[in-house]
Chains A and B, each alone.
Chain A
Amino acid sequence: MSLLDVENLWVKFPTRQGVVEAVRGISFSLGRERLGIVGESGSGKSMTGRAILRLIRPPGMIEADRIALEGQNLLDLSEKDMRAVRGERISMVMQDPKFSLNPVMRVGDQIMEAYLLHNKVGKAEARKRSLEMLDAVSIRDPERVMRAYPHEVSGGMGQRIMIAMMLIPNPQILIADEPTSALDVSVQRQVLNIMDDLVKQRGMGLIFISHDLNLVSEFCDRVLIMYAGRIVEVCDADKLHQATHPYTRGLLNSLPRLDQPRAKLEVLSRDPAWSEAPSVGGRA
């Protein structure tokens, strides 16, 4: 059975101009694999990630036939039970560590808090586990970093700290929403490799949300391509460059390439039919 099964997911926001549908009836499943969700800004990819954790604030609405985590429908859970799911069974790494770490709390205390919330252990044990976790995300000087405040660490280190914090309760699913977009290319690789190792070692499912097609094709097993709140194409990540949907092709062709110099880049012309076409199923 798959870890996560999403059926007919909608995310809607009522506004003065009518209801905005950010996600429009998508279905997909996640096993112990790395699933990429790509699309442009406004395609609904981040909203999909947030909806799984029920992190859409009212007046936004989540509607789905089912968001099942190992058979348990998350939509039936009370808010209290949902809190036990967040972090412990599904956790999320967001784009910018600057905004997701508490600026007035030492890094160590934040990681320990994450561990203590989900485990009934003493502080000494939590501290030991936190140090191990920082070590696991290749932070060379964990003792010093434990004492540091978030503004005292670099962006790449901040993101590794976030990953450490998200993985310390040992969740089954990690949702990473543009985890490396705020980082330099060289640091990007490093953070991705760390995430990849941990996910593989622990047999976790990973949902990797990104706008970067190359990154996703290299890093994931399977890719969903989203456009206007729907899935327009599903393919194996290593075959992304042979994708057939005109939208995917357009995105790929609009990237400048060092190995294929061109005087002009191809510009994506959008076909209104793409957003009308029904969603493609994203089940493995």
Chain B
Amino acid sequence: MSMIEIEGLNVWFGHGPDRVDAVRGASFSVARGESFGLVGESGSGKSTILRAITGLAPDWSGRVDIDGQALAGGKRDRAFFRKVQMVFQDPYASLHPRHSVDQVLSETLHLHGIPDIDARVRRLLDDVGLGGRFRFRYPHQLSGGQRQRVAIARALAGEPEILLLDEPTSALDVSVQAEILNLLTDLREEHKLTYLMVSHDLAVIGHMCDRLAVMKDGEIVEVMGVEALRAMRAEHAYTRDLLAASVAPGAQPV
């Protein structure tokens, strides 16, 4: 059974003449344990799909099933957030500047109603490769990559089954990006996670995902497997353009 099943999803912002249709008739499904990518330019609606799933974009129609359960409107219950968590793009903006790492993680664990918080915080920090010495630091004392690790630890606190990753590495340097992507690969294996990952970088999606959907102007123009992507077998003209712009000429293997 599929973990995420989306059919005919429309998401819009505003009303009446100001209405903007950000996503139109998007359909795809993500199997349990699969890693699925959404690519497209800014404004193509890829992040909006994640926001609709988590209830951050409450105006939507269509069908969204998470693990067989249909979602409705913009309200999500506690059980939903135990199952689905999101990692945001900018680790500089997604952590409270005046909360220490310990506070961030303890509060999240408390909200999930998880007992034995002290031991769990330590475990979480180990899981994301930070270790205990980062526990009482504030975000400004951490580098971008370390902050993103904290954000990932926070997402993992409730032991979710699905992680929604919204451009998790696009604010980071390439060497740090490699570390975070490796961490995400490891975590997916260890915790049997399902990923729905948004990125504008085809190479990152090609590295992380099994299948992907290409979006343009709010619509999914193509759903393809990663082998087809690597072999440059794109059906849609737009995907071919994206591929041509993403593959570096001169990048010959040495």
Contacts and interface: CB of A to CB of B under 8 A. Distances in A.
B185 A263 contact: yes
A254 B179 CA distance: 9
Nearest to A154: B43
A255 B172 CA distance: 12
Contacts of B185: 263-264
Interface string A137-156: 00000000000000000010
Interface string B225-254: 010011000000000011101111111111
Contact of A258 (B173, B241, B247, B253): B247
Given A184-B41, A185-B246, A257 B182 contact: no
B246 A259 contact: no
Interface stretch (A116-124, A128-136, A210-218): A210-218
Interface stretch (A8-16, A46-54, A265-273, A274-282): A265-273
B175 A238 contact: no
A259 B247 contact: yes
Contact of B174 (A218, A242, A255, A261): A255
Given A40-B175, A267-B182, A259 B41 contact: no
29 contacts: A40-B173, A40-B174, A155-B42, A184-B200, A186-B41, A186-B241, A189-B245, A211-B174, A214-B248, A214-B251, A240-B250, A241-B252, A251-B175, A254-B177, A256-B204, A256-B206, A257-B251, A258-B202, A258-B229, A258-B246, A259-B230, A259-B251, A261-B230, A263-B185, A264-B185, A265-B178, A266-B178, A267-B175, A267-B179
Interface of A: 40-41, 155, 184-189, 211, 213-214, 217-218, 238, 240-242, 250-251, 254-268
Given A258-B243, A267-B182, 8 more contacts: A40-B174, A184-B200, A185-B245, A241-B252, A241-B254, A254-B175, A258-B229, A265-B178
Interface of B: 41-42, 144, 173-179, 181-182, 185, 200, 202-204, 206-208, 226, 229-230, 241-243, 245-254
